[in-house]
Structure 1
Amino acid sequence: MLNVSETILAQFANSPSLRTIIEGFNQAIDPRELTDAWYDSVWNPQTAVGWGLDVWGRIVGVSRVLQVANIGFFGFSEGAPDSLTFGEGVFYNGSGASSNFSLTDDAFRRLIFAKAAANIWNGSITGLNAILMLLFGDKGQCYVSDNQDMTLTYVFEFSPTGVDRSIIGSGVLPRPCGVSVNYIFIPAIDYDTDFGPDIQ
């Protein structure tokens, strides 16, 4: 503490032994560094890391672990009916059996801020565009198009990575009640293969 002497009762204020013990203890456990570290690592979402970001994720309702869409592999229909052919699939590279992907701190921080923005979103197209730029502004152009028929189109003018596709499909992008949402990717990607039939 800064003024530890003010915390000592008046009847013990002149005891040299007690003051030596208290001042030595204060120097040994000075909480200022711990308080600063706590603020930077947990309390401030702009600088939080690891466990601190996990806490913020629980607060806004998102998880660090996302399901990454599996890319179809090259094969023949006799062996695997859902395999892809020349020019469509890639050779199996020995990737793990799980499609779970744990986001890095920076990617998870972007997801947390986007979800927090969606939680307080004002329902405007401008607000949706701000959320998109927060998430994907460094990847390329992305924006929302109001089709004037109770539908919205999210337009992404870049090729999203597997993590980007998972963030898009995680439900963090808000949509107004009663409005149907479509996604357009330029260059085009196979929506059903990359996102699966559940994403609408």
Structure 2
Amino acid sequence: MAAATDYTALITSEHQAAPNFMAMVAAVSQCFVDQINVMQSIPAAFDLDTAVGVQLDAVGLWAGITRQVRAPLNVYFSLDTANLGFDQGSWQGPFDPPGGLVSLDDATFRTLIRAKIAANSWDGTIPGAAAAYANLFTTPGAFVLDSSVLDSGVLTPVSFIFIQDNQDMTMTVGISGAIPSAVLRSLLSGGYLPLRPEGVLANYVVPSVDNTSLFGFDVSNQYIAGFDFGSWAVPA
């Protein structure tokens, strides 16, 4: 980091004892020092990992997404509503409307930007879509349920994502395990990550009971399980 002393230290000993001259050089050089420091701080200020506030907003615009997202009325914290409790519902701020647009906090917005960047470079494949969706979750897992790719699980996640090609111009994006927050579910169902082929209808489902697999027959794993282990799939 630049400082005015970088320049005053260059003054020869003949003039070091002249306080007025030293002060004048320090005052003149300070404006250039400030400019240098601002320029050097720009890369970190607009780095996705460190940007905050309006700088993060600018990064989001480069990726094609904004902090303001449309969400249903049921995204705010509530003790008596399923899936809106602690770590799931968002606190309602003094200027947040009861419905409509919700302003994401920096951490959630940063996660969305990463997912949007992955979506922008999507190669059109189901595994690629699963990897992009996984960016929405802090500790994600991705699983592809398809005739050509039977298993591509990654990491040891809290929420597990799988994509099923229903072979009828529809696809199912299922999230098992921990139910995502209401805002993250809104990002999925609201189409902020349009990871589907043209003309294909996408359905987004989550388990009706937290930390369970989705109910299904002939499968028993962290994604789909039968009686006593799986729970009904409900719209995200």
Common topology (TM > 0.5): yes
CA contact (8 A) 2:205 2:234 kept: no
Tell me the alpha carbon deviations over residues 79-113 of structure 1, each in whole angstroms, 9 at most, x when there is no partner.
xxxxxxxx99x9xxxx6653232111111011112
CA contact (8 A) 2:206 2:234 kept: no
Aligned amino acid, residue 206 of structure 2: F
Tell me the distance in 2 between the aligned counterparts of 1:103 and 1:140.
Answer: 20
Structure 2 stretches lacking a partner, 5+ long:
3-14, 16-20, 76-80, 85-91, 140-157, 209-231
The TM-score normalised by the length of structure 1 is 0.65
CA contact (8 A) 2:65 2:113 kept: yes
Pick aligned residue for 1:60 from 53, 58, 63? 63
Aligned pairs, number = 158
Pick aligned residue for 1:179 from 193, 200, 207? 200
Give the aligned partner of residue 80 of structure 1.
Answer: none
Q: 1:53 to 1:97 in 2, by over 3 A?
A: closer
Tell me the distance in 1 between the aligned counterparts of 2:97 and 2:48.
Answer: 33
Pick aligned residue for 1:165 from 185, 195, 198? 185
More strand by share: 2
Tell me the distance in 2 between the aligned counterparts of 1:180 and 1:103.
Answer: 27
Tell me the distance in 1 between the aligned counterparts of 2:118 and 2:192.
Answer: 10
Structure 1 stretches lacking a partner, 5+ long:
3-15, 73-86, 195-200
Tell me the alpha carbon deviations over residues 124-150 of structure 1, each in whole angstroms, 9 at most, x when there is no partner.
111111111110253511121222333
Give the aligned partner of residue 11 of structure 1.
Answer: none
Say which SS state the counterpart of residue 148 (structure 1) adopts.
coil
Percent of residue pairs bearing the same amino acid type: 31
Aligned amino acid, residue 39 of structure 2: T
Q: 1:29 to 1:98 in 2, by over 3 A?
A: farther
Q: 1:26-105, aligned counterparts within 5 Å? A: 26-30=29-33, 31-42=35-46, 44-71=47-74, 97-99=97-99, 100-105=101-106
Give the aligned partner of residue 127 of structure 2.
Answer: 126
Aligned amino acid, residue 102 of structure 2: F
Q: 1:26 to 1:67 in 2, by over 3 A?
A: same
The structure showing larger relative contact order (alpha-carbon pairs under 8 Å, at least 6 residues apart) is 1
Q: 1:108 to 1:149 in 2, by over 3 A?
A: same
| Stretch deviating more after TM superposition (113-122 or 63-72) | 63-72
Aligned amino acid, residue 163 of structure 2: V
Give the aligned partner of residue 111 of structure 1.
Answer: 112
